[in-house]
């Protein structure tokens, strides 16, 4: 019952709110009203530099004009460099201003981006954010003039490297006035919107958000993790400029992320409602306030229940840790007086808890390999297409692992069987074409723990005390090393130790004790499942869910551990794990492809400018029969091939009938000032991509007049978007050397002279640049 109720509560907490209708109050956010803009913006794919994106730009200008925001289009070239990666191009940001009562006050900005990736209408990413921004501006205007200006910043080129945001904050005269910013993003097509990133020193920002947002979803853990991940959004640019603010996104239904299925019909309107009403509330609080939030040390914060967000200074985390230590001590003293606790049992309990952690991690890792899905964005689409049953499989395996550990501790005489099972699971991780060191280590560690802990039966009081003692150690470690994350351990630990103190560590099984244990188990598990669901959605690393399983054991252990004479517990645990295995088998063997969740396919035409050779190629990891047939339409053999101008790894390709080579090419000349000029032209292409490998140091290097810092004797990758006049690299070289240039120009249309692409089956989905023409080549120049 405890498990069922906890899972039900967790499911209910993850539901999105109902979308408000078009007749909602004028000063409220309405997803139905915002959907009118989503349907226009996300009518077709509209990447930067495309005609479709220009149409969206014009729509935004018209909508802002109707709202009285006096819009302007910032058309400019911009460049961003991150080490050897350079992104640049021409952007067209659309900017409007809702005037405040005092135009001299620092301004608030609401930001989203209107471009999509190629091949996706981008209803979620980021038509939803753009439409929400327009609806927020309308609602603010309906309320009355704010205290300060509210800038509506709808950027272009986010998908190509945050280009629009960089252009605004580097070049626009309004940028210095932005003193608080709210950004909206999406990495899926549904789910509740989470506030997952803040500016530095977020104390005042979190207080504003906590007090204003209805049903907020946020935690300082996500901020900590996001800061240590390579991911970026437009908010990364404003944060780097020192602008405080809040970054929001929803990440459910990730199958639709950057996919052709990201349509207005498939977008979860509740997700749009949730992100819109949160951002409206925070914008309202900042725009109408006399002062903007003050900076202060980062707070610890997370949801409790019922949409409540608890926040406190990081140092206050020691209160929860100290309280847990005192409660655990009280619980152990009570159990000791009742002669229900021994030091050996406590030590074995610590080992049993760690067995849960390591064994569950090995099981989850094996399950991921057993699905047959490779790792990678497109590779995992087979799992995203059946995310529901994949998550159920992992939940069953996690519950089974916890029950097995508790049964082994309570019943005893299981150490050899548990150790052998752990070794089998760890070794099986290497049965999929490579030696998996991590799986082997997890299996061996779990086996050693089983041998140490699952011999003689362990009393529930001692085992639970050991589990909680290990939890106390990790809570202390987190509070010292990463205090903004320590709540993840400290809060369930405080709940578990309170339950332990009230029940004398749960040795007795009368009705009051069972009631306390059940309530604590329900609260602890349901709270943790929200974080488990977030890990499942955000990271294709299910072994991390072992941490959630271990944390859940802190409150569930006394309910999960059977008495020494209670038969059937081990078989019940194995039965649950077997159900998980069956679910994994279904995930692997039952193809999920449907018209709603079609299989990814990619087909494009490549023409080598230097020799005129042509290929049809696929940049997707798999080759459905339809794709394979289209590749060999011109009689070529489908095989892995390295094509000039594409990435260095091979792609599936087959020779094709050549077409006329379009104008353009690469020129390398020495300039009168002694420098060098490399010019790549491709009239009509929307994007240019270059890989430059140099043997000498380049000085004074610039791309289209923008200075860059090329690494000496290394590689540079350049992506240039919305190009019209090509790309020009200028530099000086103090010593002789050479430069190898791999280049490609992408045209959004299939060659008119080539055999047309046949219709795709309904259960196949074109992805990315599918249907495009890529003209590439490789040249080498010396000086």
Give the sign of the dihedral formed by CA 399, CA 400, CA 406, CA 410: positive
User: Is residue 31 within 8 Å of residue 21, measured between CB atoms?
Assistant: no
Task: Give percent above pLDDT 90 in the chain.
Answer: 92
Phi, psi of 385, rounded to the nearest 5 degrees? -70, -20
* pLDDT score recorded for residue 36: 98
User: Is residue 635 within 8 Å of residue 625, measured between CB atoms?
Assistant: no
Give the whole-angstrom CA distance, residue 543 versus residue 547.
8
Q: Residue 150 — pLDDT band, cuts 50, 70, 90? A: very high
The larger pLDDT score, comparing residue 735 to residue 587, is at 587
Give the whole-angstrom CA distance, residue 722 versus residue 49.
4
Overall average pLDDT of the 281-300 stretch:
97
* pLDDT score recorded for residue 227: 85
Q: Residue 307 — pLDDT band, cuts 50, 70, 90? A: confident
Is the predicted pLDDT of residue 700 greater than 90, yes or no? yes
**SS3 per-residue string spanning 398-432:** HHHHHHHHHHHHHHCCCHHHHHHHHHHHHHHCCCC
Phi, psi of 485, rounded to the nearest 5 degrees? -105, -10
Overall average pLDDT of the 355-380 stretch:
97
* pLDDT score recorded for residue 710: 83
Is the predicted pLDDT of residue 688 greater than 70, yes or no? yes
* pLDDT score recorded for residue 165: 99
* pLDDT tens digits along 161-219: 999 999 999 999 999 999 999 999 999 999 999 999 999 999 999 999 999 999 899 99
Token pair for residue 119? 């091949």
* pLDDT score recorded for residue 454: 96
DSSP state letters, 488-527 = HHHHHHHHHHHHHHHHGGG---SHHHHHHHHHHHHHHHHH
What residues form DSSP beta bridges with 699?
732
Is the predicted pLDDT of residue 711 greater than 80, yes or no? no
Give the whole-angstrom CA distance, residue 42 versus residue 48.
14
Distance of CA 28 to the CA centre of its chain: 29
Query: How many CB atoms are closer than 10 A to CB 694?
Result: 21
Domains for the chain: give ranges and CATH numbers: 17-307 (3.40.630.10), 315-589 (no CATH), 598-783 (2.60.40)
Is the predicted pLDDT of residue 156 greater than 80, yes or no? yes
Give the whole-angstrom CA distance, residue 496 versus residue 325.
11
Query: How many CB atoms are closer than 10 A to CB 180?
Result: 28
User: SS3 for 571?
Assistant: helix
* pLDDT tens digits along 587-646: 999 999 999 999 999 999 999 999 999 999 999 998 999 999 999 999 999 999 999 887
Omega before 751 within 30 of 0, i.e. cis? no
Overall average pLDDT of the 301-317 stretch:
95
DSSP state letters, 436-479 = -HHHHHHHHHHHHHHHHHSSS---HHHHHHHHHHHHHHHHHHHH
Distance of CA 720 to the CA centre of its chain: 25
Give the whole-angstrom CA distance, residue 440 versus residue 613.
48
DSSP H or E stretch at residue 150:
strand 150-155
* pLDDT tens digits along 83-100: 899 999 999 999 999 999
* pLDDT tens digits along 378-399: 999 999 999 999 999 999 999 9
What residues form DSSP beta bridges with 202?
296
* pLDDT score recorded for residue 1: 81
Is the predicted pLDDT of residue 228 greater than 90, yes or no? no
Overall average pLDDT of the 99-108 stretch:
98
Is the predicted pLDDT of residue 713 greater than 70, yes or no? no
pTM of the model: 0.94
Overall average pLDDT of the 284-304 stretch:
97
Q: Which of 34, 102, 64 is nearest to 280 (CA)?
A: 34
Q: Residue 229 — pLDDT band, cuts 50, 70, 90? A: confident
* pLDDT tens digits along 425-468: 999 999 999 999 999 999 999 999 999 999 999 999 999 999 99
Return all residues near 682 (Cβ < 8 A) that are at least 6 apart.
Answer: 662, 664, 688, 723, 726, 745, 775
Token pair for residue 527? 């709270």
Among the listed ranges 114-128, 235-249, 561-575, which one has the minimum average pLDDT value? 561-575
Q: Residue 707 — pLDDT band, cuts 50, 70, 90? A: very high
- Kindly tell me the burial class for residue 388, based on how many C-beta atoms sit within 10 Å of its own C-beta (0-12, 13-18, 19 or more): exposed
User: SS3 for 138?
Assistant: helix
């Amino acid at each position: 019952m405890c498990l069922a109720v906890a899972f039900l509560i967790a499911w209910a907490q993850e539901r999105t709110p109902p979308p408000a209708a078009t007749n909602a109050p004028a000063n409220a956010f309405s997803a139905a009203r915002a959907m009118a803009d989503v349907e226009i913006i996300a009518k077709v794919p509209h990447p930067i530099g495309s005609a479709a994106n220009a149409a969206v730009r014009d729509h935004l200008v018209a909508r802002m004009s109707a709202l009285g925001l006096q819009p302007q289009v910032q058309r400019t070239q911009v460049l961003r460099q991150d080490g050897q990666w350079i992104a640049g191009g021409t952007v067209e940001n659309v900017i409007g201003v809702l005037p405040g009562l005092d135009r001299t006050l620092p301004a608030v900005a609401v930001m989203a981006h209107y471009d999509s990736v190629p091949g996706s209408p981008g209803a979620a990413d980021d038509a939803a954010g753009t439409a929400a921004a327009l609806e927020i501006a309308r609602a603010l205007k309906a309320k009355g003039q704010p205290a300060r200006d509210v800038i509506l910043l709808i950027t272009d080129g986010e998908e190509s490297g945050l280009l629009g945001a960089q252009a605004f904050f580097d070049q626009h005269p309004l940028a210095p006035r932005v003193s608080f910013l709210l950004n909206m993003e999406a990495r899926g097509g549904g789910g509740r919107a989470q506030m997952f990133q803040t500016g530095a020193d977020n104390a005042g920002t979190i207080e504003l958000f906590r007090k204003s947002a209805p049903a907020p979803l946020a935690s300082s853990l996500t901020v900590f993790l996001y800061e240590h991940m390579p991911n970026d959004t437009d908010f990364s640019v404003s944060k780097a400029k020192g602008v405080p603010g809040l970054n929001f996104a929803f990440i459910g239904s990730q199958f639709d992320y950057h996919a052709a299925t990201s349509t207005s019909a498939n977008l979860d309107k509740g997700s749009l409602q949730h992100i819109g009403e949160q951002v409206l509330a925070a914008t309202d609080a900042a725009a109408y306030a006399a002062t903007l939030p003050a900076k202060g040390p980062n707070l610890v914060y997370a949801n409790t229940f019922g949409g409540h967000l608890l926040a406190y200074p990081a140092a206050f985390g020691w209160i929860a840790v100290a309280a847990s230590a005192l409660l655990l001590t009280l619980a152990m003293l009570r159990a000791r007086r009742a002669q229900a606790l021994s030091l050996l049992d406590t030590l074995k309990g610590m080992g049993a808890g760690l067995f849960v952690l390591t064994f569950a991690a090995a099981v989850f890792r094996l399950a991921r390999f057993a699905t047959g899905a490779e790792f990678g964005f497109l590779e995992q689409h087979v799992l995203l297409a059946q995310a529901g049953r994949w998550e159920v499989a992992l939940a069953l395996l996690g519950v089974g692992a916890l029950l097995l550990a508790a049964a082994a501790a309570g019943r005893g005489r299981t150490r050899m069987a548990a150790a052998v099972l752990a070794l089998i699971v760890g070794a099986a991780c290497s049965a999929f074409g490579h030696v998996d060191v991590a799986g082997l280590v997890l299996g061996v560690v779990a086996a050693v723990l089983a041998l140490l802990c699952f011999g003689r039966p362990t009393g529930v009081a001692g085992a639970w005390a050991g589990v909680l003692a290990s939890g106390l150690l990790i809570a202390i470690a987190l509070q010292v090393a990463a205090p903004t994350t320590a709540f993840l351990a400290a809060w369930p630990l405080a709940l578990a130790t309170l339950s332990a103190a009230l029940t004398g560590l749960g040795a007795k099984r009368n009705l009051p004790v069972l009631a306390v244990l059940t309530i604590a188990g329900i609260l602890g598990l349901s709270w943790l499942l929200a974080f488990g669901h977030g890990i499942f959605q955000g990271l294709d690393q299910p072994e991390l869910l072992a941490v959630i399983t271990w944390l859940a054991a802190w409150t569930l252990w006394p309910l999960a551990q059977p008495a020494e004479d209670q038969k059937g517990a081990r078989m019940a645990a194995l039965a649950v794990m077997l159900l998980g295995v069956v679910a994994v088998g279904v995930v692997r063997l039952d193809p999920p492809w449907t018209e709603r969740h079609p299989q990814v396919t990619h087909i494009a035409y490549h023409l080598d400018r230097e020799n005129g050779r042509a290929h049809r190629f696929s940049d997707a990891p798999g080759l459905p029969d339809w794709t394979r047939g289209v590749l060999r339409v011109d009689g070529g053999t489908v095989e892995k091939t390295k094509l000039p101008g594409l990435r260095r790894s091979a792609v599936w390709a087959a020779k094709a009938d050549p077409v006329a080579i379009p104008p353009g090419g690469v020129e390398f000349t020495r300039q009168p000032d002694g420098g060098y000029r490399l010019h790549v032209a491709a009239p009509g292409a929307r994007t240019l991509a270059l890989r430059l490998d140099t043997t000498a140091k380049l000085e004074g290097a610039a791309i289209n007049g923008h200075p860059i810092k090329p690494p000496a004797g290394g590689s540079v990758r350049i992506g240039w978007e919305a190009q019209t006049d090509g790309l020009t690299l200028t530099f000086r070289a103090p010593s002789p050397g050479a430069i190898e240039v791999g280049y490609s120009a992408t045209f959004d249309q299939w060659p008119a002279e080539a055999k047309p692409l046949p219709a795709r089956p309904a259960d196949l989905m074109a992805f990315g640049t599918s249907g495009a023409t890529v003209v590439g080549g490789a040249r080498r120049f010396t000086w």
